[in-house]
Structure 1
Amino acid sequence: MKVCVIEDDPLMMGHLEDMLKRMDYQVVTAASVDKGLEIVRTWEPDAVVVDILMPDRDGLNFILETRHLRDTMRVVAITGGGRLGSGPILKMASGLGAHAALTKPINEEVLRAALSEG
């Protein structure tokens, strides 16, 4: 399975990439939504793990744009919650089409389940 990770925090990106590689997934990373969209268009991943709260464009924009690009791609939204807490943000992500919505920190078992459900 090919998985794209879109995360602006380098430590979290590395953590997610390491976990996914241990699960034998092919992984490509992006530090922004724009780069993530480019990867989706060219590499055509089976799944994307996308951070919701990022500085330029957020993960909600990504979810909206990719629903029309690749409707078979599984989207896992993640967030630490920020000032609002994670509940409302993850609920919005699910409402926009994310297949799973997870709160950081994320462990391998939870991530594996989110990518394989459905």
Structure 2
Amino acid sequence: MKILIIDDDHRTRDLFKIWLEKENFEVLEAANGLEGMKAQQKHRADMLICDLIMPVQEGIETISLFRENYPQVGIIAISGGGQIGSESYLQMAEILGAWRVFAKPLDMTQIVQAVHEWQKGLPHIA
């Protein structure tokens, strides 16, 4: 299964890459939503893990575009907040179609578990 990580913080992307590759997932990376959309057009990830507050193209817009163009992709939204706090952003992400949401600081064990749960629910993924 391919997972696309979109986060402007390279350390967060690196952390996801380490954890998810240990679980034998293929990991793609992008630093913002615009780069992420381009990566998805080329590589077709099965799941998106997307930060919500980023430069160039933020996560809410990216999630909305994924729902519109790639409705089969599972979406996990992550956020450390911002001016209005992470709860409001995460609630918006759920409304737009995020399957799960997590506030930073992240518990990677919970996220990996969520990825496995989503994968088990998909009959087309072995």
Aligned residues: 118
Identity of matched residues, %: 29
In structure 2, the residue matched to 1:111 is 111
In structure 2, the residue matched to 1:24 is 24
Q: TM-score, normalised by structure 2?
A: 0.87
1:86-97 aligned at under 5 Å gives the runs 86-97=86-97
Taking only aligned residues, the RMSD between alpha carbons, in angstroms, comes to 1.2
Return the letter of the residue paired with 1:73. V
Q: TM-score, normalised by structure 1?
A: 0.93
Runs of 4+ residues over 2 Å off in structure 1: none
In structure 1, the residue matched to 2:65 is 65
- Offset at residue 86 of structure 1 (A): 1.2
- Return 5+ residue gaps in structure 1 as ranges: none
The question of 1:80 aligning with 2:80 is answered: yes
The question of 1:4 aligning with 2:4 is answered: yes
Tell me, in whole angstroms, the C-alpha distance in 2 between the residues paired with 1:30 and 1:62: 12
Tell me, in whole angstroms, the C-alpha distance in 2 between the residues paired with 1:105 and 1:24: 24
